[in-house]
Structure 1
């Protein structure tokens, strides 16, 4: 009898140890970075879904300030199919690539001054499965969907926290940009419902941050024409004709409306030479080191290097060619509009920060302002400039539903175009200060 009790106690201890064992590996150094990392990095996988067959890969960077008390964020890059590593090295993380012509060796990484990890712990998560280094053990797994991604991320977070219980009480936020802006409000709702209905550990959910977010894609795309007119990319005459013939609907045009179709074609001719993600930047070949987007190739060279994969503890054979944005990752886009999720999250009292680079034509601020206005919340801090070092960094407006909208002057589709200003904005907002 005593032997049986001992075995049961031993089994219970083993289960506890497994539950609280590290889910990842502490990374002290990385190929391409000189010397030890000046911040704490963990990488690893968390299993979700049936039999944990979906293995979600993450990079976790501890706050460089006070990790035990500072907010905890999960960062999701868009696509769908773009790795969160993109956020880590191009937008708001503590590392960046030195932009130089690739010579066959491991690209060089350097420290940044603008990382959000100065004041927050961040989990950079590759999702949906198939993105980055995330993979499925089931070759016949269902195609991911928007709503399915919301459930998977919620499950990931609860499993991650179960293995990192020291972060249970940290204020928690969901953050990301572009296409993830459609999924993030659904994730917030999923976490909130889980906290209320069933699930442990509880997540200390406080709100969310979205940048140039896809919200209602047809309407987002429709806003490109008034944006192009406001930027002087199309004439007054063409704009007025488009409004008259198309009635504000420029993307799902009735095939019988030949006049509208012809005018939309004229619009496309006018803007075909424009780099949509930042209209003031040149549109050029990605492979040219002189082009801004050349830096994206460096992450491909880096992440496909065998020494890098060993350093990151990537499971051997789990991923073929790594791509920063793998648009072959299929995802059922079953959330047509995220506006209802925003409304529900607002009713529950969650804070939100909506950021728009004001020179982005992919998801223009014009469309983002329109859906925010449709929520019909009263304004508590009217439109005004927000400043950095006595210079206008953008404009902001705050609503009674704890939603703050902010533009970033001369910025584009992601935070990378004005990282210093976006960092200052985030630090003010996350600490409860006015922008």
Structure 2
């Protein structure tokens, strides 16, 4: 047992390189919550230095669950999840200027009910960096999950007061793809007796990338369900393409012709939320029906050069510019204890990553976790055409689970907030829910409803 104790002490020394932040530029006075930032080294010789923001639960840090939160991309900073989705801070647009962004408190933060670690992963995301440049050239899904798993091990060794808390691996978009891979590693590590033992209870994935073919193939039926293509065009496309809309046979001219007509109908639609305007900063290349992970990441350079000629149309992405201004401020970086000289420029989503998508489908990871008895919550904004809810329903159906509570509405303030279905396969439970009016991803569009959703699920109440 001596070798184990020595090993844990070595890890502990690394994990304690953290700072408590009491004030932040742009927020008046002291922060009314506990914020910690820091780096933890993982990989060979701790070459990968992963940056994180940790915010304690505003209710009961000792009793509330611990979330590890992963934002998507791959390559999008967890700061995006913190300020635009589920964290306690939001930009105060009314009082912000282009040079001095201001914050206000988010009344719908998930830190009302959970302790949350917002992790910048993989290497090259946000403030995370590699000591050796070769570390940027070997990124893939498996490595991202392994690094995140080892990060969490070290973080818990440095924060033993949270070892007893219920642990949930959470994230959305491409982060939702990595979530079940990490959860499986934790489960296997616990079974192998790897220290520290983690109190894993389940996982949460929002608008999750899961299976590249299923996710992308669902865009055509989703478009039809939302009246973006006609009945006749959908029926013709379904017949001629035989239900296969991704990488069609180039010799199938009828299918190709139909898909081109479908693209004409969809090319000016905002895929992140079909009811909101498509903005000019998005990559000018066509939004093809073939899977392309870059569709999940904004074109930063073009976005930053954007100038609004008129107040209309309003685009949600205009608000993202405040994160670039704030996070690149040297005063802000000093306040966050960012290591000087480790990154050239902070970007919300790093498109320059050399990243290999080596896990094509995570369906088997979900299947494994179900057999081990872990809880799962999968939610989808129902206006998202990047990862349509109909595709998510397709892969969930392939799990062959028993329906416990069939399709039914759930409510917030007496209004329909979405629809849900709960499955069970002893000893686990699996919940799928849509968020009405939500896009990619749901909490940014429907924060109040998503807080209600996570509160009920954590409390084992029907959503």
Short-chain TM bin: over 0.9
Q: State how far apart, in whole Å, the 1-side matches of 2:359 and 2:76 are.
A: 18
CA distance in 1, matches of 2:11, 2:392: 47
Whole-angstrom CA distance in 2 between matches of 1:104 and 1:176: 29
| Structure 2 counterparts to residues 36-435 of structure 1, below 5 A | 36-99=30-93, 103-141=97-135, 142-286=137-281, 287=306, 288=308, 290-401=314-425, 402-414=429-441, 415-435=443-463
Partner deviation per Cα, 1:285-342 (whole Å, 9 max, x = no partner): 3543732111111111111111110010000000111111112112211111000000
Q: 1:23 to 1:225 in 2, by over 3 A?
A: same
In the alignment, structure 1 segments of 5+ residues that lack a partner are: 1-11
TM-score, length of structure 2 as denominator length: 0.89
Contact 1:57 1:125 in 2 (8 A): yes
Q: Deviations over 1:335-360 (max 9, x none)?
A: 11000000000000000000010111
For 2:131 and 2:420, how far apart are their aligned partners in 1? 45
2:385 and 2:229 map into 1 onto residues whose CA distance is: 13
Count of residues paired in the alignment: 423
Q: Residues 247 and 24 from structure 1, CA distance in 2 versus in 1: closer, same or farther, beyond 3 angstroms?
A: same
Q: Is the 8 A contact 1:19 1:162 kept in 2?
A: no
> How many Å separate the matches in 2 of 1:161 and 1:299?
29
Shift in Å, 1:22: 3.1
- Quick check: 2:109–2:451 contact (8 Å CA) kept in 1? yes
Q: Distance in 2 between matches of 1:200 and 1:364?
A: 39
CA shift digits 1:232-290 (9 cap, x unpaired): 00011110110011111112111111221121111111011111111111113354373
For the pair shown, the structure with the greater C-alpha radius of gyration is 1
1:410 aligned counterpart, secondary structure: coil
